[in-house]
Amino acid sequence: MLVSLSIRDVVLIDRLDLHFEGGLSVLTGETGAGKSILLDSLGLALGDRADSGLVRHGSDQAVVTAVFDLPPGHPARDILGEQGLDAGEDVLTVRRVVTRDGRSRAFADDQPVSVGLLRKLGDTLVEIHGQFDTHGLLNPATHLGILDAYGGLEKQAAAVKRAWTGWRAKAAERAQAEADLAKDREEEEALRHSVEELRALNPKPGEEAELAEKRGQLMHGEQIAESLNGALNAVSQDCDVEAAFRHAQRSLQRVLDKAESTVQPILDALDRAAIEASEALNQLERAVGEIDLDPRHLEQVEERLFDMRALARKHSCEPDDLPAVAERFEKRLAALEGGGSDIARLLREEQAARQTYVEAARALSKGRAAAAGTLDRKVKAELAPLKLDKAAFVTRVEERPEEDWSSDGLDRVAFLVATNPGAPPGPLNKIASGGELSRFTLALKVILAAIGPVPSLIFDEVDAGIGGATAAAVGERLERLAAELQVLVVTHSPQVAARGQHHFRVAKFETKGRVSTTVTRLDQPERREEVARMLAGERVTEEARAAADSLLTATTTA
């Protein structure tokens, strides 16, 4: 939900701080007062294109800051997380700065971000519906997802995506196997030679490191032997270390009963030392006995080590990877010799995966057709009071050719309208006029209010070109919509304005030759006067005030 909007030096606005609440907020004012500047400012904060013409004359830069409630699980948190940015505990603050030369900077919670990221965040925070809007409901690319959400088909859609992924993986595996087999048939002689080389060498995992260590020992065998023999002589011939420890133990045993607390720890330490000394002596003797000084063994180790490294270079891998290379080549040779039996198996698996996808996708298509029928009936019921009783709304669900199937299923979904009886339905944003477009959008939004993640909706002159009972119907639907979402509406209709829970008046005034726009939140007496002005025009009469009272009272008690 939009909590606040701060605007500095944007066109006619010098300094403006607005605070919003949930429910329905209406913005009224005379034509040219600057209502569109408010929407342009908010759009700027949400990533719209920057223009140096937005900077107020005489100022160096324009700044717009918008603050939103950000409940747990809101999509904006995921977007920020993907960029390594942390969302605030309860709110998200987005800010845009535009300088006089047209350059701009964007921020999210005071962290610099790209304008593209700001726009992506904005798409999850606010929907702005104007007479010439081409986003949201009017973007055909969104219709399939909207229908799935409306029909409660998300789990079925997720199952279709999983089935699609499984099918395409099997298809890719089969295609790769066919490509490998074709390549292997062309290079059969080279493949057989490589297999024979690898079989002859028979490399083992970790063998290179073992050979390298063995080679080092053989190359320095005499030096190692000299050191080992010196150590052995030091602990065996020059003195008997273990015997010395045991002699010390026997000497201490004589006084153990007279000083046990002092002597026993020493005896234990001497015992451990004697055991370690004996083990060291045994290891030295074994090591001396295992020293290999045969130069032929060095040649054999070096030959195998160099053969492994040469073969690894040939196959562009590490020596430790040669066993895996050998296994892969053996499989390719087996497939070649088997005449494509593996490919036949992979083809069967691919066909089974395709069938799984088709079954899941057709079940989803059936659910979409049912949801489309329900949606069409509910939208139709909303159209007549909006002076669109002769219009038709159609959710078209049609199967695409197989080459166009996707993870979304088999279907192409589009919201179509026909505004005149007998006329073929066409795309919403191409068939309907500006005013009709806004009312179609409103009717759809009333039906779809509960399914979208966007918590705030803004309607710009949704009541254009209508009045009387139709305007009252628009206001009633905006009020219903505001029970689910935060709704802000820019309106010239007193019937719509009277429905607002919160009323803002936009006005333009001149001080010392400088024109500025201001926005005032109205209390109840001020609302009465504003609605009366909207009814009567420039000169407010008592009759207009009485009519305003009637409208405000009716909407209060409705």
Residue with tokens 């925070």: 125
Average pLDDT score, the chain: 84
CA distance 477 to 480: 5
CA distance 369 to 410: 12
What's the one-letter identity of residue 138? L
pLDDT at residue 421, as a whole number: 79
pLDDT digits (tens, 9 = 90+) for 274-301: 788 778 778 766 766 666 666 677 778 7
pLDDT digits (tens, 9 = 90+) for 57-114: 889 999 999 999 888 778 888 888 888 887 666 889 999 999 998 899 999 988 899 9
**Helix count (H) and strand count (E) of the chain?**
19, 15
Number of Cβ within 10 Å of residue 176's Cβ equals: 11
Number of Cβ within 10 Å of residue 363's Cβ equals: 15
CA distance 178 to 447: 51
Closest CA to 84 of 66, 109, 119: 109
β partners of residue 27: 490, 504
Query: 30 versus 170: which is more confidently predicted?
Result: 170
Q: What is the mean pLDDT of residues 188-214?
A: 85
pLDDT at residue 362, as a whole number: 97
Decide if pLDDT at 221 tops 70. Answer: no
Decide if pLDDT at 377 tops 90. Answer: yes
| Sheet containing 411-418: order of strands | 392-399, 411-418, 426-427
pLDDT category at 129 given cuts 50, 70, 90 is confident
Query: 396 versus 432: which is more confidently predicted?
Result: 396
Decide if pLDDT at 134 tops 50. Answer: no
pLDDT at residue 370, as a whole number: 96
Residue with tokens 């007549």: 384
pLDDT category at 181 given cuts 50, 70, 90 is confident
Decide if pLDDT at 236 tops 70. Answer: no
| Collapsed DSSP state (helix, strand, coil) of residue 20 | coil
pLDDT category at 334 given cuts 50, 70, 90 is confident
Q: Name the token pair of 78.
A: 């995921």
End-to-end CA distance of the chain: 25
- HEC states along 499-520? CCCEEEEEEEEEECCEEEEEEE
3-state helix vs strand vs coil in the chain, percent to 5: 60, 20, 25
Number of Cβ within 10 Å of residue 414's Cβ equals: 18
Decide if pLDDT at 255 tops 50. Answer: yes
Phi, psi of 9 (to 5 degrees): 60, 50
User: Cα dihedral angle (434, 437, 441, 444), rounded to 10 degrees?
Assistant: 160
Decide if pLDDT at 5 tops 90. Answer: yes
CB 277 within 8 A of CB 245: yes
Closest CA to 180 of 345, 344, 343, 351: 343
Q: Kind of pairing, strands 111-113 and 104-108?
A: antiparallel
pLDDT at residue 17, as a whole number: 93
CA distance 24 to 485: 8
Q: What is the mean pLDDT of residues 411-416?
A: 93
Query: 466 versus 518: which is more confidently predicted?
Result: 518
Task: Give the least confident one: 280-284, 494-498, 506-510.
Answer: 280-284
Decide if pLDDT at 430 tops 80. Answer: no
CA distance 299 to 216: 12
CB 6 within 8 A of CB 94: no
Residue with tokens 């109840």: 524
pLDDT at residue 395, as a whole number: 94
pLDDT at residue 234, as a whole number: 65
| Collapsed DSSP state (helix, strand, coil) of residue 15 | strand
pLDDT at residue 400, as a whole number: 95
pLDDT category at 538 given cuts 50, 70, 90 is confident
pLDDT at residue 67, as a whole number: 93
Residue 82 CA, chain-centre distance (Å), reads: 6
